[in-house]
Amino acid sequence: MGKRLFRWVDERLGTSHFARKAFDKIFPDHWSFMVGEIAMYCLVILIVTGVYLTFFFVPASGEVIYHGSYKALQGARMSAAYASSLDLSFEVRAGLVMRQMHHWAALVFLAAIVVHLCRVFFTGAFRRPREVNWIIGVTLLVMSMMNGFFGYSLLDDLLSGTGVRVGYSIALSIPVAGEWLAFLFFGGEFPNTEFITRFFVLHVLLLPALIVGLLGAHLAILWRQKHTQFKGRGRTEDNIEGSRLWPSYAAKSVGLFFIVTAVIAALGGLAQINPVWLYGPYDPAQASAATAGSQPDWYVGWLDGALRVMPGWEIRAFGHTIANPFFPGAVLPGLTFGVLYLWPFLERRFTKDRDPHNLLDRPRDAPVRTALGAATLSFYTILFIAGGNDVLSSVFRVAPESITNLFRVLIFVVPVLVFLVTRSACRSLARDHVHPFGGTVGSRVRRTPAGGYEAVDDDDPPPAEATRADLVAEAYRRPAPPAP
């Protein structure tokens, strides 16, 4: 039956030719190459759970009176969107698990993208010929962040309404065109009744379509260019070593999909996320209430932290105002993603390295790049932590003013320290050839066919019967090439 179907398809589409090549496609065995797959599988979960949610969610801001089963909001006025979120959580069987899986998957999706980006950055995998895929990847990050923001804004609870208002105010602060931009994007002065419908279309149609399309391009380019690989015995710029797609890698990858989904399902059922019924409805007419501990989701947290640590400065001149939130809210993300987009070209300018690279750097092989990356990560980590300054303040009982002032200093000092420490750590690691997670110092001894022993030089060919594990271990002992 299966065979006949395959023949039927093949005679019409010529599938067997492609499948034959695809089955032999080689995937590197190193675990770090699977982080991107985690992100991809989270996207699958997001789409499946998201489609389910759209059957129940009502993207409308019209006012309704709640008569569902959650007692503490009986008779309350709220938007239809918020009411349908409550119904999803209380009335729709399995609805809450789906909603929570969707939200957890979004948080993990972005985390996995960031780790994947770090892997690509710190190993130099973005270099020629992979610049285009780097740009697509950064675009995917930006779009996923935006879509996450639109997604949690849809529920129209008190917390998300506050977040939308912050977004509106940042748009408003843009010089010259800010008022028009904010009015056109949000449909008029905030608060209004337009934005939920707009965000819904962006969240479920436009951005997902773009994300899926770009991911397709990302994978197609990867397929064409083949994976990078770490240096090792027998590995060159012109070959690729690893496992074939069929059968074992395919089975492992599908297994990973199941495990990723299992983790998200367990979180979705056992760990409560975004309990909108406790936040209460956002009242666009009054916009009066707020809640202590107003934070965005983590991937927007660094922006909120930047808003918090920014001192109260703004530019007022010639009858115009460049308002305070413009700098942390628009300039900072602009610079962040601008530099990310341009990084492959910036690095090329400084290293003068225009060659194609299929062999990866270990982070220590490029001390300056690694140190810059670590310093940048520390910068955004501090911003993220600063976004929780009120939570830190009440947990550690330090005045929020002191914490904010501390962050205003740390934000400059820590990245510099991290840069210096990382750079010198990379250099000393590169000198000593010691793998930070184990590995031995010293030379290897081999028994000769004649029965004697001899030290193995790094340039010796490997013994024919050596296992791959030996090769990898040996690869780590090879001297690193000089830093760029």
Partner 1 sequence: MRTRILTVLALVGGALGVALLRVGPSAAQVRPPTTVPGGPAEVEAGHQLYAIACTTCHGTEGEGVEDRGPSLVGVGAASADFYLSTGRMPLDRPRTQAERKRVAYSPVQIRQLVAFVASLGPGPVIPRVTGAAGDLAEGNRLYANNCAPCHSSAGAGGALGHAVYAPPLNRATPVQVAEAVRIGPGAMPVFGPDTLDDEQVASVVRYVSYLRKPDDRGGFGLGHLGPIPEGFVAWIVGLGAMLMAVRWIGTKD
Partner 2 sequence: MPAERRIAVLLLASTLAALGLAGVYIAGGQPQAEGALLGVALAGIGFALILWARGLSSEGAVVAERGPLGGTVEDEEAVEERVEEVTEEPGRRSVLRLFWAAGGALALSAVFPIRSLGPAPGNALLRTAWRPGSRLMDTDGRLVRVDTLQVGGTLTAFPQGAEKAGDSSVILIRLEEGQLQPRPGRESWSPRGYVAYSKICPHVGCPVGLYQADTHELLCPCHQSTFDVLDGARPNFGPATRSLPQLPLAVDPQGFLIAQDDFDEPVGPGFWNRD
Q: Residues 423 to 462: which contact partner 2 by CB under 8 A?
A: none
Go through the chain and tell me how many residues it has: 484
Residue ranges in 372-401 that form contacts with partner 1 under rule CB under 8 A: 384, 387-391, 393-394, 397-401
d(CA 454, CA 444): 8
At which residue do the structure tokens 């490029």 appear?
A: 366
For partner 1, the closer of residues 175 and 275 by Cβ is 275
At which residue do the structure tokens 């748009």 appear?
A: 171
- For residue 156, the one-letter residue type is D
Interface residue with partner 1 among 100, 147, 370, 422 (CB under 8 A) is 100
Tokens of residue 254, six digits: 């599908």
62 binds partner 2 (CB under 8 A): no
- For residue 204, the one-letter residue type is V
Tokens of residue 464, six digits: 């024919």
Interface residue with partner 2 among 14, 175, 216, 436 (CB under 8 A) is 175
CB of 422 to partner 2, least distance (A): 31
d(CA 146, CA 210): 12
Q: Quick one: DSSP state of residue 31?
A: G
Residue ranges in 227-246 that form contacts with partner 2 under rule CB under 8 A: 234-235, 237-244
Residue ranges in 85-124 that form contacts with partner 2 under rule CB under 8 A: 93-94, 96-97, 100-101
Residue ranges in 176-195 that form contacts with partner 2 under rule CB under 8 A: 176-180, 182-192, 194
272 binds partner 1 (CB under 8 A): yes
Spatial contact of 156 and 79, defined as CB atoms under 8 Å apart: yes
CB of 67 to partner 2, least distance (A): 20
d(CA 173, CA 428): 47
* Binding region for partner 2 (CB under 8 A) out of 117-125, 144-152, 211-219, 223-231: 223-231
Decide which of partner 2, partner 1, none touches 34; Cβ closer than 5 to 8 Å per partner kind: partner 1
Cross-strand pairs, 442: none
Residue ranges in 417-476 that form contacts with partner 1 under rule CB under 8 A: 468-469
- Angle between the N-to-C axes of helices 95-122 and 80-90, in degrees from 0 to 180, rounded to the nearest 10: 100
CA 140 and chain centroid, separation: 9
Decide which of partner 1, partner 2, none touches 376; Cβ closer than 5 to 8 Å per partner kind: none
For partner 2, the closer of residues 188 and 216 by Cβ is 188
Q: In sequence order, what are the residues at sequence separation of 6 or more whose Cβ sits closer than 8 angstroms to the Cβ of residue 198?
A: 185, 186, 187
- Residue 439, phi-psi category: left (phi > 0), alpha (psi -120 to 50), beta (remainder): left
Interface residue with partner 1 among 289, 315, 339, 413 (CB under 8 A) is 289
* Binding region for partner 1 (CB under 8 A) out of 103-111, 207-215, 324-332, 439-447: 103-111
Sign of the alpha-carbon dihedral angle for 235, 116, 357, 369: negative
Residue ranges in 363-382 that form contacts with partner 2 under rule CB under 8 A: none
Tokens of residue 409, six digits: 């200093």
d(CA 42, CA 313): 41
Spatial contact of 104 and 268, defined as CB atoms under 8 Å apart: yes
CB of 401 to partner 1, least distance (A): 6
Interface residue with partner 2 among 39, 215, 307, 473 (CB under 8 A) is 307
* Binding region for partner 1 (CB under 8 A) out of 14-22, 28-36, 208-216, 373-381: 28-36
Interface residue with partner 1 among 198, 226, 252, 477 (CB under 8 A) is 252
Q: How many residues bind partner 2 (CB under 8 A)?
A: 110
Spatial contact of 190 and 165, defined as CB atoms under 8 Å apart: yes
For residues 310 to 349, the per-residue mask of contacts with partner 2, x marking binding by CB under 8 A and - elsewhere, is: xxxxx-x--xxxxxxx--xx--------------------
Decide which of partner 1, partner 2, none touches 398; Cβ closer than 5 to 8 Å per partner kind: partner 1
d(CA 278, CA 283): 15
CB of 67 to partner 1, least distance (A): 11
Interface residue with partner 1 among 56, 183, 246, 277 (CB under 8 A) is 277
